[in-house]
Amino acid sequence: MSTLRSALEQYLSMRQGLGYKYRYQARRLADFVSFMESRKAVTITTKLALAWATLPVGRHASWTLRLTDVRGFARHVANINPRTEVPPVEILPSLKRARPYVYSDAEINALLTAALALPPANALRRWTYYHLFGLVAVTGIRLSEAIGLHRSDVDLGEGVLTIRQSKFGKSRLVPLHPTTCAALCSYAERRDAHLGSHCGPHFFVAERGGALLHQYVHRVFWRLSRETGLRRAGDHTGPRVHDFRHSFAIRTLLDWYRDGLDVEQRLPLLSTYLGHTCVRDTYWYLSACPQLMEEAAQRLDRRWEASHEVNT
């Protein structure tokens, strides 16, 4: 085993020990180490790191992400090999977060209606996707969290989900509205009747009772979004499943503003509910949505006018 590969195992063990899943980063860094080994290079340099990071020609969006992975690894390796170069932060354009798409009620209803029309007519598939996408839309949980739910994590009597070891290894409880509980109860009954003794541990299941796979869920969503006009045939960009989560967060913040509530005070509550590791991640919504910026500006205007009236 090469020195770099051994260092990678130590680095990944350390990161995962801190609670980071680091699955995708692990695959990318393993590829980087293979790239270094193929060139018989034992010392990380900025030139080599940049050569590897920009290998997928035409996929500029991934370059910064790949170089960020190497930068973190290089900092670790520098403790072992002082000749290691840590690539500068601004050597590539910064990675920009995609602007969230805010679904309207009509668009969500159209997607769910299209899910109920998925073939075959007598299968569980249509009901699985109808309730899966519906749950993500009304709770704002991550798709991975919804897919990962086990039957024991869904307490419909108490109306609460237990999200276990999600992003960054955090767990949390998510309360459910009674109407959501009723919908999930209906799905559970239909699922158990369909599968009988073949029911597995997962709450949302594939046709034969196994776990849902992310790639297939996304393919179904792309199909539904084309059928409902959210995407055109052949589009590689457009509204995503993850935008259900964004829509939930933005609508919650908008409701708070319009109800005259103290948004700054309530942001930590939303951050905890969404499973963010830092309130800063929730603050991002305030600048990412024009409607929220407008509501914040109007509130500041009203406060300024009230203060001006008092002073005069």
The distance from CA 297 to its chain's CA centroid, rounded to whole angstroms, is: 29
Residue 127 sits at φ, ψ, to 5 deg, of: -75, -35
Could you confirm whether 242 is annotated as catalytic? yes
Question: Could you say which of 242, 251, 266, 299 is catalytic?
Answer: 242
Instruction: Determine the Cα–Cα distance for residues 51 and 169; give it in Å rounded to an integer.
Output: 33
Q: Quick: pLDDT tens for 41-67.
A: 999 999 999 999 998 766 666 888 899
pTM more than 0.85 = no
The distance from CA 252 to its chain's CA centroid, rounded to whole angstroms, is: 18
Question: Could you say which of 11, 103, 187, 285 is catalytic?
Answer: 285
Could you confirm whether 142 is annotated as catalytic? yes
Could you confirm whether 223 is annotated as catalytic? no
DSSP assignments along 106-129, one per residue: HHHHHHHHHHTTPSPTTSSHHHHH
Could you confirm whether 129 is annotated as catalytic? no
At residue 27, the pLDDT reads 92
Please list the residues that pair with 155 across neighbouring strands: 160
Instruction: Determine the Cα–Cα distance for residues 22 and 19; give it in Å rounded to an integer.
Output: 9
Tokens of 4: 């770099």
Average pLDDT over residues 97-113: 91
pLDDT at residue 151 tops 60: yes
**Domain assignments of the chain as residue spans, ordered by start:** 3-91, 110-227, 242-311
For the ranges 17-26, 37-46, 77-86, 115-124, which has the lowest average pLDDT? 17-26
Residues whose CB is less than 8 angstroms from the CB of residue 72 and which lie 6 or more positions away in sequence, other chains included: 11, 25
Average pLDDT over residues 147-157: 97
Question: Could you say which of 28, 142, 191, 246 is catalytic?
Answer: 142
At residue 304, the pLDDT reads 54
Neighbour tally for 265: CB within 10 Å: 9
Separation in Å, CA 170 to CA 19, 26, 231, 249, 272: 8, 20, 34, 19, 10
Separation in Å, CA 225 to CA 137, 143, 238: 14, 16, 9
Could you confirm whether 285 is annotated as catalytic? yes
Neighbour tally for 291: CB within 10 Å: 13
Structure letter (DSSP) for residue 96? P
Instruction: Determine the Cα–Cα distance for residues 64 and 53; give it in Å rounded to an integer.
Output: 7
Residue 218 sits at φ, ψ, to 5 deg, of: -65, -40
Strand ranges inside the chain, DSSP E: 154-155, 160-163, 172-175
> Residue 169: CA atoms inside 13 Å, Cβ hemisphere, count?
9
Q: Does domain 110-227 have CATH number 1.10.443.10?
A: yes
At residue 124, the pLDDT reads 96
For the ranges 120-124, 167-171, 202-206, 214-218, which has the lowest average pLDDT? 167-171
- Round the average pLDDT of the chain to a whole number and report it: 88
Question: Could you say which of 164, 167, 218, 266 is catalytic?
Answer: 167
Instruction: Determine the Cα–Cα distance for residues 279 and 249; give it in Å rounded to an integer.
Output: 13
At residue 308, the pLDDT reads 47
pLDDT at residue 251 tops 80: yes
Instruction: Determine the Cα–Cα distance for residues 36 and 14; give it in Å rounded to an integer.
Output: 22
Is residue 104 within 8 Å of residue 42, measured between CB atoms?
no
For the ranges 97-106, 188-197, 229-238, 297-306, which has the lowest average pLDDT? 297-306
pLDDT at residue 30 tops 60: yes
Question: Could you say which of 71, 245, 257, 273 is catalytic?
Answer: 245
Q: Which residue matches tokens 């520098």?
A: 78
